[in-house]
Copies of this chain bind each other. A is one copy, B any other.
Amino acid sequence: MPNLSKNASKLTRGFASDNQAGVLPQVMQALTEANHSHAPAYGYDPWTLDLQQYIETCFGPQTRVYPVYNGTGANVLALQAILRPFQSVLCAKNAHINEDECGAPERFLGIKLQTVDCPNGKLTPQDIENHLHYRGDEHRVQLKAVSITQPTEWGTLYSKEEIQALAHTCHQNGLWLHMDGARISNAAVALGLSFEAFTVQAGVDVLSLGGTKNGIMFGELLLVFNTELNSEILFFRKQLTQLHSKMRFISAQFLPWLQMEWWKEPAAHANLMAQLLAKGASQFPEVQLAQKTQVNGVFAYIPKEWNTPLMQHMPFYIFQPATNMARWMCAFDSQKEDIHRFLEQMKQLSKASDVFLEL
C-alpha cells in the first residue's frame, strides 16, 4: 500500500461532529467477512434477507426494512412514502429535514414543510392541533404528516410518553408520524429502552434508523411499520438514487450492529463523554448550557472571542451564530483526555480561577 494520504497522519479528534469519527472495528470486520463470492445485487442477497427477518423479530412481523445510503435519503424516501405533492409535513424549525438537507424534501417531493419554532427542538400535540385548519381547502397545502427527530438536533429527548401523545394526535387526525433517528442509538441508551419501545410501540409509522453517527461506514435503514405504505417504496428508492447495487455491504454492517447490540456501548460512551464535557464546561462562568445534555451533544453559549482559540485545539461548530451557541458533539471514540484538553484550554481563556477539571 503506497503512502497515499500523508496528511491523514495529522488527523486529530474533535467535537465537530460524530460523523467525523471512523468505523467500529467490528463493523470493519463484518465488511471483510461479507466479501466473498457473488451475491445477488439490489437487496436480494442473504445479508439483506437476514436483516429483514431480524427486523421483523424486533419490530414486529409487519415491518419492512429498506436499506439506503444516508440520512437525507432515508428521510426523503420516508416522506415520499407518506405524502402526495400537495400535502405538507409539520416539523421543528431546526429539524434536519428543514435546515440541513439543502431543500431536498421540497426539491424531490414538491411538498411544503410547515415549521414550528421549538426552543428545545421538540414538537407538542398542541403544535399539531394548531395546524389543522384549512383541511379540504384547495388553496392550502394539506397537512398529512409530522416529523420528529429523536434525539433532536439540539440534543434533547422525547420520552416514550411524549411520542405516544404525538402519535395519538397524529392518528386521530389522519396524519402519519415519521421519526428521524439519525442518532437513535444515543436516544435508546439515554432512555434505557430498546429501539422498538419508543418507535413502533409508541405509534411511529416510519423510521429513519441511522448508524453512521455511531460506527457504521455508510448506509441507513428506512423502517416502515404500517403495511399501507410499502407498495411503491421499491420504485421510489431506485428513482431517488438510493438503491445500492452491492447492498450486502450495507446489510452486513447493520445486521450484527443490531443483533449483537454493537450500537449500545459506543453510544453509551459518547453520551457519557458529553455529560463530562457539559459538567466541566458549565463550571466556567462565561459558559451557559443552552439545553440539558441528554445525549452526546453539548449545546452552550460561549463568549465569541473564545471561538478561534478553542477551535484551534478541537474543531467544533457554532450552531446559532446570533447567540454564539456552540455545539460540541462527542463520538464513540471520544476520550476523557480530549475533554480534559478542551477544558484546559477554556481555563486559559476564562476569568475563573477555581475551576476543578478532574473528570
Residue numbers of A with Cβ under 8 A of B are: 1-2, 4-8, 10-14, 16-17, 19-23, 25-26, 28-42, 45-47, 49-50, 69-70, 72-73, 76, 84-86, 88, 99-104, 106-108, 110-113, 130, 133, 138-142, 212, 217-218, 232, 234-246, 249, 252, 255-256, 259-260, 315, 321-322, 331, 333
Give chain B residues whose Cβ lies under 8 Å from the Cβ of A212. 245-246
CA distance A139 to B234 in the complex (A): 9
Output the nearest chain B residue to A117 by Cβ-Cβ distance.
B117
> What's the nearest-Cβ distance from chain B to residue A343, in Å?
18
Q: Is the CB of B140 within 8 A of A100?
A: yes
CA distance A144 to B69 in the complex (A): 29
Give chain B residues whose Cβ lies under 8 Å from the Cβ of A111. 103, 106-107
User: Can you give 26 contacting A-B residue pairs, CB < 8 Å?
Assistant: A1-B29, A2-B256, A2-B259, A4-B47, A4-B252, A7-B50, A8-B34, A11-B45, A16-B38, A16-B40, A16-B41, A19-B41, A23-B35, A31-B217, A69-B241, A69-B244, A86-B236, A102-B139, A102-B238, A104-B239, A106-B112, A107-B108, A107-B110, A108-B110, A108-B241, A212-B246
Give chain B residues whose Cβ lies under 8 Å from the Cβ of A84. 232
CA distance A333 to B38 in the complex (A): 9
CA distance A229 to B29 in the complex (A): 40
Output the nearest chain B residue to A14 by Cβ-Cβ distance.
B38
Give chain B residues whose Cβ lies under 8 Å from the Cβ of A252. 4-5
Give chain B residues whose Cβ lies under 8 Å from the Cβ of A333. 38
Main secondary structure on A side of the interface with B = loop
CA distance A187 to B107 in the complex (A): 34
Q: Is the CB of B256 within 8 A of A1?
A: yes
CA distance A308 to B108 in the complex (A): 40
Q: Is the CB of B35 within 8 A of A28?
A: yes
CA distance A204 to B294 in the complex (A): 48
> What's the nearest-Cβ distance from chain B to residue A342, in Å?
13
Q: Are A39 and B8 also in contact (CB < 8 A) when A106-B110, A246-B19 are? A: yes
Q: Is the CB of B240 within 8 A of A4?
A: no
